[in-house]
């Protein structure tokens, strides 16, 4: 059994699949929320980046659902997959959003999320006594490691912006 304080209990393969599924779904919701924010604040480049990230996570979620076969992984996730003291590992940090953020910032958020997911599944591999859970968690570790590499590759397209990225020529000013 794998259980860290505040993280869902992973006692068997169904639990692991449910948690893995929920992690992806939470990431989809978060990226879509960020895309909505960017839409409202007229940052179309970021809308596309966040929607693409949401789509990618959604595909991962569907893959996990397929791996679960006839087992209703979504229903089980609703019952057990709750992270008590923090966001779900792949959820991008909501408080880090800024209306002038760039794709580099978005990918940094994504990278941090993938790394948290990698650490989470690694901890399951290291602590579980169930060989089936260990085997599946190891697969998930490999996948998350691939995602980390993918985000690193995407980052090559988007160099770090200059320190003035948040400068706004028409800033929200305090009322005089």
> Which residues contact another protein (rule: CB under 8 A)?
29, 33-34, 36-41, 78-79, 82-87, 94-99, 101, 172-176
Cα–Cα–Cα angle for 41, 153, 31, rounded to 5 degrees? 30
Least gap, CB of 82 to another protein (angstroms): 8
Closest approach, Cβ 139 to another protein, in A, equals 27
| 14 or 98: CB nearest another protein | 98
SS3 content of the chain, % helix, strand, coil (to 5): 65, 0, 35
Minimal distance, residue 172 CB to another protein, in Å: 5
- Residues constituting the chain: 176
Q: Supply the minimum distance, in Å, between the C-beta of residue 20 and another protein.
A: 18
Q: How far is the CB of 142 from another protein (least distance, A)?
A: 29
In sequence order, the β-bridge partners of residue 10 are: 2
Listing DSSP states for 72-131 in one string gives -HHHHHHHH---SSS--TT---GGG--TT--HHHHHHHHHHHHHHHHHHHHHHHHH---H
Q: Please, which residue, 93 or 146, has the CB nearer to another protein?
A: 93
For 120, the token pair is: 């989470």
Q: Based on CB atoms, which residue is closest to another protein, 83 or 121?
A: 83
Q: Residue 34 or 140: which CB sits closer to another protein?
A: 34
Cβ proximity to another protein: between 70 and 176 the closer is 176
Q: Roughly what angle, to the nearest 10 degrees, separates helices 131-157 and 103-127?
A: 160
Give residue for tokens 């579980």.
128
């Amino acid at each position: 059994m794998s259980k860290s304080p505040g993280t869902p209990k992973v006692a068997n393969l169904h639990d692991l699949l449910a948690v893995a599924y929920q992690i992806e779904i939470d990431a989809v919701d978060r990226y879509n929320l960020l895309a909505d924010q960017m839409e409202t604040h007229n940052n179309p480049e970021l809308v596309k980046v966040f929607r693409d990230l949401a789509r990618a996570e959604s595909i991962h979620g569907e893959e996990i659902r397929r791996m679960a076969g006839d087992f209703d992984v979504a229903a089980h996730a609703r019952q057990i997959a709750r992270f008590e003291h923090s966001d779900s590992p792949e959820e991008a940090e909501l408080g880090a959003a800024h209306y002038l953020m760039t794709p580099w910032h978005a990918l940094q958020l994504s990278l941090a999320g993938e790394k948290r997911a990698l650490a989470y599944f690694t901890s399951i591999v290291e602590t579980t006594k169930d060989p089936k859970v260990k085997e599946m968690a190891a697969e998930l570790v490999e996948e998350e490691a691939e995602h980390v590499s993918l985000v690193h590759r995407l980052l090559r397209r988007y160099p770090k912006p200059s320190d003035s990225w948040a400068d706004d020529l028409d800033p929200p000013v305090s009322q005089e």
